[in-house]
């Protein structure tokens, strides 16, 4: 009887070991599957949230937003929207590598607020070298893994910035200069490190026509398309701000994600260098003047103001808001008929569809703006689960 018990116990032990190996293998497979893709999180230094809460195991890169251009050089400025930026933010972000040793920390230069110095910095060989030297020094001083340039936008005014036709070629030359200085930095250090150089790009045809994407991508590790704000804070008409496909009224669309990717690919950007932008915020219109189509593509008294996903979640639980889905555009929206409020936003379903597309198309991964806009990690978890789930691998 004791012999039988020992045999039975041995079988149970073997079964448990096999099960443990299988589970470990599944977790390893899921990890490998997920981290074949970039997951780039923009983290705003002016949102005053606790960086230690970041789920570092679910992202591959953090772009700290933003640093400025002052006198033609990369510069850690003091504040955005009267909220101080702190140099020790970078130290706090670096500590996340204890959770994810493969995590890469970059700073992002510019953005909508601080793109005013790009055109001058890119103008001449001397100004480009000055900028590039400061970029490499900044990376070295803060022990970063690279730098991200978010110029909004070459040969376009953006937020009233200096711009000139020469920006089109000068942007390429600026990136070349930065790439060279980052490589020189790595060579001086002699440790075999490769410093990353990335950019954020616009999703529109106008952006593509005012850049040399096919040339400049040679100097980049990857780029992040801002595939959101299609309808935005300048529009008195409601619409999808990050629709995957054309809507049933394509003449009313600004663009869509498939078109934006195609524009980049046709301009010469390899698929594996493209990260798809996903918004962790929505756009809200008030005073919508017609209930036709549940408020979609209707004139409104307000423009499409930003509303964070964490602010949207309570409305998802409010019976006054109807949760709608545009099957053609593959995009969700909220409609409040009594208050005439329309909200375009992102949810788990739309994220899953976009990830399926990026896998099928062979893109490099995803980027999102902005980490603190999320609600208890819901959208990041949806992105993470979609990347791990069934689908083609690169």
**Which residues does the annotation mark as catalytic?**
152
Cα(58)–Cα(56) distance, integer angstroms: 5
Q: For residue 108, which of 70, 151, 161 has the smallest C-alpha distance? A: 151
Closest by CA to 174, choosing from 67, 291, 73, is 73
149 with 100: CB under 8 angstroms? no
Strands 341-344 and 365-369: unpaired
Whether the ω angle into residue 153 lies within 30 degrees of 0, i.e. cis, is: yes
What distance in Å separates the CA atoms of residue 329 and residue 306, rounded to the nearest whole number? Answer: 20
Question: What are the b/e assignments for 16-55, b being 16+ CB within 10 Å?
Answer: eeeeeeeeeeeeeeeeebbbebbbbbbbbbbeeeebeebb
Token couple for 156: 């376009």
Return the number of other C-beta atoms located less than 10 Å from residue 235's C-beta.
Answer: 19
């Amino acid at each position: 009887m004791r012999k039988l018990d020992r045999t039975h116990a041995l079988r149970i032990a073997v079964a448990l070991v096999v099960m443990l190996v299988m589970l470990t293998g599944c977790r390893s497979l899921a990890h490998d599957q997920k981290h074949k893709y970039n997951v780039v999180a923009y983290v705003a230094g002016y949102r005053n949230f606790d960086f230690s809460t970041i789920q570092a195991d679910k992202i591959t890169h953090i772009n700290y937003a933003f640093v400025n251009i002052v006198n033609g050089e990369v510069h850690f400025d003091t504040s955005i929207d009267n909220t101080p930026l702190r140099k020790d933010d970078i130290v706090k972000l670096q500590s996340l590598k204890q959770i994810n040793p493969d995590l890469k920390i970059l700073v992002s230069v510019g953005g909508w607020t601080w793109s005013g110095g790009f055109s001058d910095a890119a103008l001449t060989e001397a100004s480009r070298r000055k900028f590039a030297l400061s970029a490499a020094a900044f990376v070295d001083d803060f022990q970063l893994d690279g730098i991200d340039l978010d110029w909004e936008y070459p040969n376009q005014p953006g937020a009233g910035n200096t711009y000139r036709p020469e920006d089109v070629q000068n942007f390429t030359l600026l990136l070349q200069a930065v790439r060279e200085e980052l490589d020189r930095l790595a060579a001086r250090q002699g440790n075999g490190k490769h410093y990353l150089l990335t950019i954020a790009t616009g999703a529109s045809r106008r952006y593509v026509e005012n850049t040399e994407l096919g040339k400049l991508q040679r100097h980049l590790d990857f780029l992040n398309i801002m595939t959101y704000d299609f309808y935005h804070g300048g529009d008195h008409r409601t619409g999808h701000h990050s629709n995957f496909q054309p809507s049933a009224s394509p003449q009313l669309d600004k663009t869509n994600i498939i078109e934006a990717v195609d524009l980049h690919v046709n301009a010469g950007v390899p698929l594996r260098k493209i990260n798809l932008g996903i918004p962790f915020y929505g756009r809200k219109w008030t005073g919508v003047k017609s209930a036709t189509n549940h408020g979609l593509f209707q004139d409104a008294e307000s423009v499409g103001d930003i509303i964070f996903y964490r602010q949207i979640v309570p409305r998802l639980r409010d019976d006054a808001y109807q949760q709608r889905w545009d099957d053609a555009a593959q995009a969700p929206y909220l409609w409040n008929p009594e208050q005439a409020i329309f909200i375009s936003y992102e949810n788990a379903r739309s994220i899953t569809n976009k990830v399926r597309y990026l896998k099928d198309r062979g893109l490099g991964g995803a980027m999102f703006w902005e980490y603190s806009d999320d609600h208890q990690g819901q959208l990041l978890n949806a992105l993470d689960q979609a990347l791990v789930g069934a689908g083609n691998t690169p």
